[in-house]
Homo-oligomer: A and B are copies of this chain.
């Protein structure tokens, strides 16, 4: 129960820190936050054929409101392309109105038969970016720019290395011309798709009649993108970094970066000194907590904070104070060291950054060791048993389907670096010119 309660609050703090990182970058790249309606009339959902086909099976319908049956059903947004498009059509007149670059932080509903915490839930918190542009080139630039923003946040802030690339037509978003993804490897070797960006071209613009008057005075359709990441990122953190002692949070997004545990707190001066050190570290901008509970032992606290993933523990007892030092434990390597209390304000930020880098390096090493080149179905199966397969693919969806049917392995994405790792399709053996990753996936 303690964990359940902690999670309820701490998960939000955690996503708030991740949110802050993402939101700052969205704003720096010229996007504005907006809030669009939760409920979308069925007629809007029906306008783009691929989109409705993709989402219709998994939406929640509102049919009764204020005691009355509705004449037209409303869908709880599974994603908001259709409502943005309905508004774009009203807002856009001339090339001067473009680009429009919006983002919203909200929750969406996709009715799932089987759910899994953080990875697949019927309601999930996410952000969805929606933009329209005058040209196809600009829309493509935006699609790749936001993919790179996602990659950067994942790698720099969450310490999760990702493989970025383009999805196959089979795996792309309903209604998109092209979908790009980032894919992380979990500790069981399975892939987790942690973010996607989509280029819709003028698909939706045609369905919703979103036209603008160009500089040259001609009517033209806008080009559209969307992109999203969700609370799935929290799942990725848990499954990338966690170990047998519990969570292991990267310092940059850890709600508590260091916890101070007094040892023999009743002894003269220990609590007071701990409070001083907490205050000193707080003025340095470190998110520090003093655990002064008197109902549990220091040993209990050690386990408790390791379980909760706090990157650094600072133990301070009467003997330490005599020597002017403290014991510092790092969650990532379990190493303990004595540090001088006078130098703690300088040492701790460096230590936190070292932990961040070390966590990234460990995850990258793990991932790199488990990406294997596969030249046929047997090698593909073997690679996917422990990680990702990097392979050549002929481009035929039939091969993707056979791989999925026989091995329960799916295509992840096609990297931007297309240096060949062979000449023949991993499945059918025909001439192939596409490099692609395959894996078992969540």
* Interface residues, chain A, with chain B CB atoms under 8 Å away: 1, 4-5, 8-9, 12-13, 16, 32-35, 37-39, 56-67, 73-74, 76, 87, 90-91, 93, 96-97, 100, 102, 106-107, 109, 111-113, 123, 125, 295
Residue of B nearest to A91 (CB): B5
Of the listed residues A59, A65, A90, the one surrounded by the most CB atoms of chain B closer than 10 A to its CB is A65
- Chain B's closest residue to A58 (CB) is B66
Residues of B within 8 A of A111 (CB): 65-66
Q: Which of B33, B58, B295 contacts A12 (CB 8 A)?
A: B33
Cα A106 to Cα B96 with chains together (Å): 34
Chain B residues with CB under 8 Å of A109's CB are 38-39
Which of A16, A67, A97 has the most chain B CB atoms closer than 10 A to its own CB?
Answer: A67
Give the residues in chain B near A12, CB-CB below 8 Å. Answer: 32-35
Q: Are B35 and A16 in contact (CB under 8 A)?
A: no
For the A-B complex with A56-B67, A60-B62, A61-B63 known, give 11 more contacts whose Cβ atoms are closer than 8 Å.
Answer: A4-B90, A12-B33, A16-B33, A59-B65, A60-B64, A60-B65, A60-B74, A61-B64, A62-B76, A64-B73, A76-B76
The 5 closest A-B pairs by CB, nearest first: A66-B111, A9-B32, A61-B64, A65-B111, A60-B65
Q: Within the assembled complex, what's the spacing in Å between the Cα atoms of A1 and B39?
A: 23
Specify which of B8, B56, B93 is in contact with A34 (CB 8 Å cutoff): B8
Nearest CB of B to A118, in Å = 13
Interchain CA distance A112-B67 in the complex, whole Å: 11
CA distance A64 to B109 in the complex (A): 13
Report B-chain residues with C-beta under 8 Å of the C-beta of A74: 60
